[in-house]
C-alpha cells in the first residue's frame, strides 16, 4: 500500500506542477474552458495508471503486462514496520478529520443562511423546474448549494442591487455551474485535497482549479455576446466583490475567490474575451490524450519489467491451497501468479499478486497457502520470486499462462 501511495504521489506531483506551470499558456491559446477541463487529468491519470492497458495494445506487450493487480497480503501485515503503520494511521486520520471538518463547516454555513423560498417566475431568466430558488439576508452573492437537489440562493436585495441585464448574466453564470455539475466536481476535488493534505501543491492546485472554474463560467456566459454585455458583467462582478466576504467553505457563488488578484484576472479575461483558437484546443486535447496513454503504459510497464526480472526457486515445504467451495460448486477454474520474497531463514514474505484470473476468486487461498511455504536458508534471502497456482476441476497437461513454475490444485470433491 505504501509503495502504491508513493507512486501515486509522484504522479500527482508531476501532473500538478505541469498544470500550474503551463496554465498561462493554456489560458492564452485554449481559453478558460480548456484550462478548467485539463484538471480532469489528475483523477484520470491516477486511475489509468492502475488499470491494464487497452486490448488494442495487447499484441505489443508480453501477456503478463495485462490485468495486473497489486495488493497488500495478510502475511505482509504481520511484518509491517511501526513507522509505516504510524504514517498510514496519521495520514488516514487527518484526511478523515479534514473531510468531517469541511462537511461540518458547509452544513453550518448553510444553516446560518436562514433561507426562504421565492417564486422562480419573478426572475428575468427561465430556470430549470428542478432548481429551487431561495433568498437570504445573509447571502452576499448568488450561489448554488445542495447535496441531492440543487438550490439557488439569492441575496434579498438581488433585484435592487443589479439591473435586469446584470441579473440575467449572473443567473446564466450560476446555471453554467449547474449544467456542468460543478457542485459534484468540487466535492471530488475536496476529497482529493483531504487525501493529499500534506502536499503543498494540493492546496495550490485546488485554488487554481476553483479559479479556473469561475473563469470558465465567465467565458461560457460571455461567448458570442457584445461589448455592452461584458461591461455590465464586469460591473456586476465588481459590485458583488465589494460586499462582505463569504465563508471559504461556502458553496459555488458568483463572487467565489473574489480577492484582488483573482478579480483582476477575471476582469482581464472579460475584457479580452479570449475564447481560444480551434488549433490551440486541438493541440491541448492531443497532448492530454498522449499524456494519459503514456501514463497508462508506464503504470503497466513497471510491473512487466518486475515480472521479467523475477526469480524462480523451488520450495522445501509446499502447502497446497484449498479449492474455494463456492468456485468448485459453480465450476469456476482459474490461475494466480504470485510474487514474493524469501527471508534469510527461508520464510516467505512480501507476497503480492501479479495476475489473478478470475479476479480475486482464488487470491485469498493462494496467498494463505504460500505464506506457509519454506525455502532453503541463505545469507541474504531471495527477492522477487515467482510461482503460478492453477486451480482446475480436473487434471490438465497445459496452462494458458506457462511463464513460471506451475502447480495445479485439483478439486477432488467435485
40: which 3 cell numbers? Answer: 480532469
At 172 the pLDDT is 92
Query: What are the backbone angles phi and psi of residue 217, rounded to the nearest 5°?
Result: -65, -40
At 134 the pLDDT is 92
At 69 the pLDDT is 25
If one counts every other C-beta atom within 10 angstroms of the C-beta of residue 103, the result is 14
Record the pTM. Answer: 0.63
Alpha carbons 292 and 352: distance in angstroms, whole number: 26
At 382 the pLDDT is 86
Tens digits of per-residue pLDDT, 365-414? 899 989 999 988 888 888 888 888 888 877 654 544 444 445 555 554 44
Tens digits of per-residue pLDDT, 235-278? 888 877 766 554 444 556 665 555 567 777 888 888 877 777 77
Residue pair 19/41 in contact (Cβ under 8 Å)? The answer is yes
At 106 the pLDDT is 82
Tens digits of per-residue pLDDT, 333-368? 888 888 888 998 999 999 988 888 887 788 888 999
Tens digits of per-residue pLDDT, 148-160? 788 999 999 888 8
Alpha carbons 193 and 205: distance in angstroms, whole number: 9
Helical packing angle, 2-21 and 41-48, nearest 10° = 150
3-state secondary structure at position 257: coil
User: Long-range contacts made by residues 43-47, C-beta under 8 angstroms, separation at least 24?
Assistant: 43/188, 43/192, 44/292, 45/11, 45/15, 45/291, 45/292, 45/295, 46/8, 46/11, 46/12
Where is pLDDT greater, at 81 or 154? 154
pLDDT mean over 277-286: 81
pLDDT mean over 192-197: 87
Where is pLDDT greater, at 51 or 376? 376
Beta pairing partners, 336: 356, 389
Instruction: Give the pLDDT band of residue 135 (cuts 50, 70, 90).
Output: very high
At 224 the pLDDT is 78
User: 2: Cβ–Cβ under 8 A, 6 or more apart, which residues?
Assistant: 84, 87, 88
Alpha carbons 108 and 96: distance in angstroms, whole number: 18
Tens digits of per-residue pLDDT, 200-228? 999 999 989 988 998 898 888 888 788 88
Alpha carbons 257 and 298: distance in angstroms, whole number: 37
User: Does residue 66 have a pLDDT over 50?
Assistant: no
DSSP H or E run through 328: helix 325-329
User: Does residue 3 have a pLDDT over 70?
Assistant: no
101: which 3 cell numbers? Answer: 471538518
Residue pair 135/155 in contact (Cβ under 8 Å)? The answer is yes
Residue pair 291/45 in contact (Cβ under 8 Å)? The answer is yes
Instruction: Give the pLDDT band of residue 74 (cuts 50, 70, 90).
Output: very low
Helix segments in 140-181, DSSP class H: 158-161, 164-180
Grid cell 459453480 is found at 330
Look at the chain and count its residues: 414
At 249 the pLDDT is 46
CA atoms within 13 A on the CB side of 21: 6
User: Does residue 62 have a pLDDT over 50?
Assistant: no
Average pLDDT score, the chain = 77
Residue pair 148/141 in contact (Cβ under 8 Å)? The answer is no
- H helices, E strands: number in the chain: 14, 9
Query: What are the backbone angles phi and psi of residue 271, rounded to the nearest 5°?
Result: -65, -45
Task: Tell me the percentage of the chain whose pLDDT exceeds 70.
Answer: 76
At 201 the pLDDT is 92
At 4 the pLDDT is 59
Instruction: Give the pLDDT band of residue 307 (cuts 50, 70, 90).
Output: low
Grid cell 494540493 is found at 202
144: which 3 cell numbers? Answer: 448554488
Alpha carbons 187 and 213: distance in angstroms, whole number: 13
Alpha carbons 166 and 170: distance in angstroms, whole number: 6
Tens digits of per-residue pLDDT, 17-34? 988 998 888 888 888 888
Query: What are the backbone angles phi and psi of residue 108, rounded to the nearest 5°?
Result: -65, -40
Alpha carbons 169 and 223: distance in angstroms, whole number: 11
Alpha carbons 252 and 210: distance in angstroms, whole number: 9
3-state SS of 342-353 is ECCCCEEEEEEE
Tell me the domains of the chain and their CATH numbers: 66-80+310-414 (3.30.2420.10), 81-276 (no CATH)
Where is pLDDT greater, at 142 or 273? 142
Alpha carbons 54 and 57: distance in angstroms, whole number: 6
User: Does residue 6 have a pLDDT over 80?
Assistant: no
At 299 the pLDDT is 56
User: Does residue 51 have a pLDDT over 70?
Assistant: no
At 116 the pLDDT is 92
Query: What are the backbone angles phi and psi of residue 244, rounded to the nearest 5°?
Result: -65, 140
Beta pairing partners, 378: none
Beta pairing partners, 176: none
User: Does residue 98 have a pLDDT over 70?
Assistant: yes
pLDDT mean over 114-130: 89
Residue pair 252/153 in contact (Cβ under 8 Å)? The answer is no
Amino acid at each position: 500500500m505504501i509503495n502504491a501511495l508513493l507512486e501515486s504521489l509522484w504522479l500527482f506531483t508531476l501532473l500538478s506542477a505541469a498544470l500550474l506551470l503551463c496554465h498561462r499558456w493554456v489560458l492564452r491559446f485554449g481559453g478558460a474552458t480548456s484550462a478548467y477541463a485539463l484538471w480532469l487529468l489528475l483523477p484520470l491519470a491516477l486511475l489509468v495508471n492502475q488499470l491494464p492497458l487497452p486490448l488494442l495494445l495487447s499484441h505489443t506487450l508480453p501477456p503478463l503486462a495485462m490485468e495486473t493487480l497489486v495488493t497488500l497480503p495478510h502475511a505482509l501485515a504481520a511484518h509491517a514496520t511501526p513507522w509505516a503503520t504510524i504514517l498510514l494511521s496519521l495520514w488516514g486520520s487527518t484526511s478523515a478529520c479534514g473531510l468531517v471538518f469541511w462537511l461540518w463547516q458547509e452544513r453550518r454555513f448553510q444553516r446560518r443562511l436562514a433561507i426562504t423560498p421565492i417564486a422562480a417566475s419573478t426572475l428575468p431568466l427561465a430556470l430549470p423546474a428542478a432548481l429551487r430558488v431561495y433568498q437570504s439576508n445573509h447571502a452576499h452573492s448568488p450561489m448554488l448549494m445542495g447535496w441531492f437537489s440543487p438550490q439557488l440562493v439569492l441575496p434579498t436585495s438581488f433585484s435592487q442591487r443589479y439591473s435586469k441585464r446584470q441579473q440575467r448574466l449572473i443567473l446564466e453564470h450560476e446555471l453554467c455551474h449547474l449544467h456542468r455539475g460543478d457542485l459534484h466536481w468540487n466535492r471530488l476535488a475536496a476529497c482529493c485535497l483531504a487525501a493529499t493534505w500534506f502536499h503543498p501543491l494540493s492546496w495550490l492546485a485546488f485554488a487554481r482549479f476553483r479559479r479556473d472554474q469561475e473563469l470558465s463560467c465567465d467565458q461560457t456566459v460571455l461567448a458570442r455576446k457584445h461589448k455592452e454585455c461584458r461591461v455590465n458583467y464586469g460591473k456586476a462582478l465588481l459590485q458583488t466583490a465589494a460586499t462582505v466576504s463569504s465563508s471559504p467553505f461556502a458553496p459555488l457563488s458568483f463572487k467565489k475567490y473574489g480577492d484582488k488578484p483573482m478579480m483582476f484576472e477575471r476582469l482581464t479575461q472579460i475584457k479580452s474575451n479570449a475564447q481560444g483558437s480551434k488549433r490551440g484546443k486541438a493541440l491541448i486535447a492531443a497532448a492530454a490524450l498522449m499524456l494519459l496513454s503514456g501514463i497508462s503504459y508506464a503504470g503497466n510497464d513497471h510491473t512487466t519489467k518486475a515480472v521479467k526480472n523475477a526469480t524462480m526457486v523451488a520450495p522445501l515445504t509446499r502447502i497446497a491451497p484449498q479449492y474455494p467451495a463456492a468456485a468448485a460448486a459453480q465450476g469456476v477454474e482459474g490461475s494466480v501468479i504470485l510474487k514474493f520474497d524469501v527471508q534469510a531463514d527461508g520464510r516467505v514474505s512480501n507476497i503480492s499478486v501479479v495476475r489473478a484470473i478470475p479476479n480475486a476468486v482464488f487470491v485469498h487461498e493462494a496467498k494463505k497457502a504460500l505464506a506457509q511455504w519454506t525455502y532453503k536458508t541463505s545469507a541474504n534471502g531471495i527477492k522477487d520470486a515467482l510461482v503460478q497456482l492453477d486451480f482446475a476441476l480436473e487434471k490438465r497437461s497445459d496452462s494458458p499462462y506457462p511463464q513460471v513454475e506451475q502447480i495445479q490444485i485439483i478439486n477432488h470433491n467435485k
